Amino acid sequence: MQLDLNNRLQSEIRREHYDGAPGVLTSALVWLIASAVCFFAGALQGVWALLIGGALIYPISALLARFWVKPKAAPAPNPLNQLAGASTVWLIACCVMAYGLYHLRSEMFFPAVMLAIGCRYTVFATVYGLKIYWVLGIALVAASFLSFFFWLAPPASALVGGLVELAFAIVIFRGAKAFAAAA
């Protein structure tokens, strides 16, 4: 009985948010913009591009999801939305900490945020009921460790985060299209 309820709630979230693909794509674009800003204007400006752009990921991705999903009615309240929202509090706290790390060593900011976002994607594995979010989360965690241990310059580190998310956005969009067609 509980498993059926979980599957129903996850299916609703998947349908409403197009498997989360618009969010992953929007996040990837924010990372890529931050990398470019970092490269052309400096690390601090790239940090602010990621922080401000990151704050806009949900509203932009919600608009994109409406474009792909074309909902007929407002979605019903779903407790899994609360789980995703609760993980946002943790993410904001980690971004504040990453900003503090930036002032110690600028190379630490992007790997720290990448690590936090990678861990957050593991929560999305439960929200959407999709194992791809475990893989995405682990890939971002690994990328953050590599960026940190190789002391990648801020533009390169942000580029790595953006490219990882862009690759996964493509995979998740394909799955979302198949899910939508089957529904």
CB 165 within 8 Å of CB 33: no
Asked if residue 71 has pLDDT above 70, the reply is no
**What is the reported pLDDT for 183?**
65
> How many whole angstroms separate alpha carbon 24 and alpha carbon 72?
24
**Range 20-48 average pLDDT:** 97
> How many whole angstroms separate alpha carbon 111 and alpha carbon 23?
20
Tokens matching residue 22: 């618009």
| pLDDT band for position 51 (cuts 50, 70, 90) | very high
> How many whole angstroms separate alpha carbon 163 and alpha carbon 2?
37
Q: What is the pLDDT of residues 87-136, one digit of tens each?
A: 999 999 999 999 999 999 999 999 999 999 999 999 999 999 999 999 99
| pLDDT band for position 2 (cuts 50, 70, 90) | low
Other CB atoms within 10 A of residue 22 CB: 26
**Range 2-14 average pLDDT:** 84
Nearest to 64 by CA among 35, 108, 27: 27
The angle that helices 43-55 and 79-104 make with each other, rounded to 10 degrees, is 170
More confident residue, 86 or 180: 86
CB 76 within 8 Å of CB 12: yes
Asked if residue 1 has pLDDT above 90, the reply is no
Contacts of 78 (CB under 8 A, 6+ apart): 9, 12, 13, 16
**What is the reported pLDDT for 73?**
57
**What is the reported pLDDT for 6?**
84
**What is the reported pLDDT for 76?**
72
Whole-angstrom CA distances from 47 to 32, 107, 173, 179 are 12, 11, 28, 36
**What is the reported pLDDT for 3?**
66
Residue 122 region, left (φ>0) first, then alpha (ψ -120 to 50), else beta? alpha
